[in-house]
Structure 1
Amino acid sequence: MNIDRLKELCLIPGISSREEKIREKIIQNLNPRKYYVDKIGNLVIRKGTGNKKILLMAHMDEIGFLITSIKENGNLILRKVGGIPDEIIQSRYIEIVTNEKIIQGVIGAVPPHLKKDNVSFELVGNVGLNTKEDVLNIGINIMDYAVFKKNFINIGNYISCRALDDRFGCFVLEEVYKNSSPKNEVIFAWTVQEEIGLKGAKALSNELSEIDLAIAIDSFACCSRQNQHIKPGDGPVIRFADNSGISSFYYSKKIVELAKKNNIPIQLGTTGGGTDGSIFVDKGTPFVALSVAVKFLHSTVEMIHINDLENLIKLLKIISEEEL
């Protein structure tokens, strides 16, 4: 398992609707003979033949900010894209992504010395310039975007980085695509705009027909009162219920049986949020959400256990090669 490849994917910026850099890297990494990119940016590659069609999905987009205006004093007015908790925003380094380059910046904070004067926090970025004209002259424009500056580190048996949600899923799909010999027809899809309402999956569900099973590879937030039994390092998680849908009982049981047969640890849990897979139920397609437990989800220090990542790759490889 090439952790450097996962690092590479995590460090690429790409908020919802701006996934082009991640998509280009995945195509470069896999160099597939045939693939297509649909009108909104979903990347689709097919592999194998068989009686059943299995769709494996992971989303490319991450949470971040759109630049919606530039103030006369040079500050960038930012709009949140995706579910960013307010408490993680202040006092952060950011990267502003323009058409030509990446520019370093910050989101500031109100010093305690000024709070007594009722100075309040404003969600703006600062790139060290004091006029709108200077900001425009370095190439920053409205509709550019920003992401939190990322640091990819190993902590014991864990990996920590912003955007592990869902770049770990993108990485897992790459590994399964490269190392499996499917007995089914497996459709690998790297989707867009998941963080703002599963938009890419909705488009994909209209494009793909006669799918027998849709599997979404995405994060599992741990650990709340409803899922305290989920332990990072104890195996992948079947996310059998969340706010968007309920995984197929039939296929969940099948996957548990396959995991046990192949000595792969697996866990079952419920959480909030939603995954791309749930969209396919409206089209008459059963789905299963497969995850790994993520500590501090939607923060700048997301963490996953390396063993869970390895076991998820093994499990998906087996699923693609079995007659479900």
Structure 2
Amino acid sequence: MNELIELCSVPGVSGREEKVREKIIYMLEKNNFGEKQKNLPALSVDKIGNLIGKVPSRNNPESSKNVIVMAHMDEIGFYITSLRDDGKLEVRNVGGIIEDAIQGSFVEVVTGNGIVDGVIGTVPPHLKSDGVVFEKVVDVGARSKQELIDVGVSVMDYVVFKKHFSILNKEFLALRSLDDRFGCYTLIESCKDISPNSNLVFSWTVQEEVGLRGAKALLNHFATFERVDFDLAIAVDSFACCSKQNKHIELGKGPVIRAYDNSSISAPDVVKFILKLAEREGIPVQLGTTGGGNDASVFVEYGVPMVALSVPIRYLHSQVEMLNIKDLLNLIKLLRLFLESF
């Protein structure tokens, strides 16, 4: 839990994932004792910030299948668009912000000089009768534009919700940005000392929350420059729980195969393969449909089958996203087994 909490606590909205990427590289390169890991994937970073790790097949790499596994580093938040004369910060949403849930929130303004604490206020009931309306601005305690400049705040600095975590009933973790840092953590744990049946590309992608842009750039790179013909694309991303269409999905009953969402349909033969593997190994797994999109969907347009793997997350895109730790551990186990057999 501590490693996942640390990873979730790093700020990084779409387009500004550099701090998250640095943390992931550190977690890949060092073990819990700060010692150098063995059998590391070959790491590189592309021009827009996707982190890429390659692990060759244990068999003949030239005749083996090619599989790419992705999880996105970015989180929802805000960009600063204006410094007001009254010391407030005007902001623009990055990704799917829940407007009803942002009033009265603690936030962090990430500047070139460090983090500045702030809040998004609210209107008390005492003043609503006087016609006072809510303004979506960030208040860092400054009284003028010059004070904002003096503390180092600039236009296009970014803002994230301040991260608070709770461990509930010893098995649930509630924390902002579990979407998709749990996926990033899954990839970290899945590529350590793995002996895959296929050539693997692990990628921690950028800008998923604003249109799967990192994954699209990744696909173009491999298709154009490396001439890699992928046999399967895997996205590890969140599964929104629980709506009318997926009431049967429950936290604590295993990872989810995201069979169908707004962007893609998981390949039926791969889904069956995973279900049989999970049954054989005694790993609980759930099958469901949801909304939203995923990074692997962009590969379908180039004829690459895909599958999306998840854990169910309650209160998605809020400050209190919640998952069950057992689901995450089972997802890591299932993904590793799949990559060693497919």
Provide TM-score, normalisation by structure 2.
0.92
Letter in 1 for 2:123: V
Give, as a single letter, the amino acid of the residue that structure 2 aligns with 1:137.
D
> 1:71 Cα deviation (Å)?
0.5
Matches of 2:243 and 2:42, distance apart in 1: 42
Q: Does 1:188 align with 2:202?
A: yes
Match of 2:298 among 262, 267, 279: 279
In the alignment, structure 1 residue 35 sits paired with structure 2 residue 43: yes
Instruction: Show structure 1 runs of 5+ residues with no match.
Output: none
CA distance in 2, matches of 1:81, 1:94: 14
Q: Does 1:59 align with 2:58?
A: no
Q: Is residue 188 of structure 2 the alignment partner of residue 174 of structure 1?
A: yes
Whether the aligned pair in 1 keeps the contact of 2:77 and 2:159 (CA below 8 Å) is yes
Selected match of 2:155 from 142, 145, 157? 142
Residue by residue over 1:219-260, the C-alpha shift from the partner in whole angstroms, topping out at 9 and shown as x without a partner, is 000110000000111111011101111111111111111111
SS of the equivalent of 1:5 reads: helix
Query: Which one-letter code corresponds to 1:298 in the other structure?
Result: H
CA distance in 1, matches of 2:55, 2:215: 19
In the TM superposition, residue 20 of structure 1 has moved relative to its aligned partner by 0.2
Partner of 2:285: 266
Is residue 2:103 matched to residue 1:103?
no
4+ aligned runs moved over 6 Å, structure 1: none
The aligned counterpart of 2:82 is 69
CA 1:305 to 1:248, structure 2 compared with 1: closer, same or farther past 3 Å?
same
Aligned positions of 1:1-324 closer than 5 A: 3-31=1-29, 32=40, 34-49=42-57, 50=61, 51-156=64-169, 157-208=171-222, 209-322=228-341, 324=342
Report the secondary structure of 1:203's partner residue. helix
1:74, 1:131 within 8 Å by CA — same for their partners in 2? yes
Kindly, what percent of the aligned residue pairs are identical? 54
Q: 1:112 Cα deviation (Å)?
A: 1.2
The residue type equivalent to 1:9 in the other structure is L
Cα offset, 1:179, TM superposition: 4.1
- The AA in structure 2 aligned to 1:228 is K
Find the residue that maps to 1:320 and give its secondary structure.
helix
Instruction: Report if aligned partners of 2:68, 2:201 keep a CA contact under 8 Å in 1.
Output: yes
Structure 1 residue 46, shift from structure 2 partner: 0.5
Count of residues in correspondence between the two structures = 321
Instruction: Say whether the 8 Å CA contact 1:179–1:317 is kept in structure 2.
Output: no
CA–CA distance in structure 1, aligned partners of residues 245 and 150 of structure 2: 51
What is the RMSD computed on CA atoms of the aligned residues?
Answer: 1.0
CA distance in structure 1 between the partners assigned to 2:287 and 2:197 by the alignment: 26
Q: Determine helix, strand or coil for the equivalent of 1:221.
A: strand
The letter for the 2-side match of 1:93 is F
Query: Which amino acid in 2 is paired with 1:78?
Result: V
Preserved contact between residue 41 and residue 54 of structure 2 (Cα < 8 Å)? no
- In structure 1, distance between residues paired with 2:200 and 2:6: 25
TM-score, length basis structure 1: 0.97
Contact 1:238 1:269 in 2 (8 A): yes
User: What is the distance in 2 between the residues matched to 1:28 and 1:150?
Assistant: 21
Aligned equivalents of 1:91, 1:152: Cα separation in 2: 17
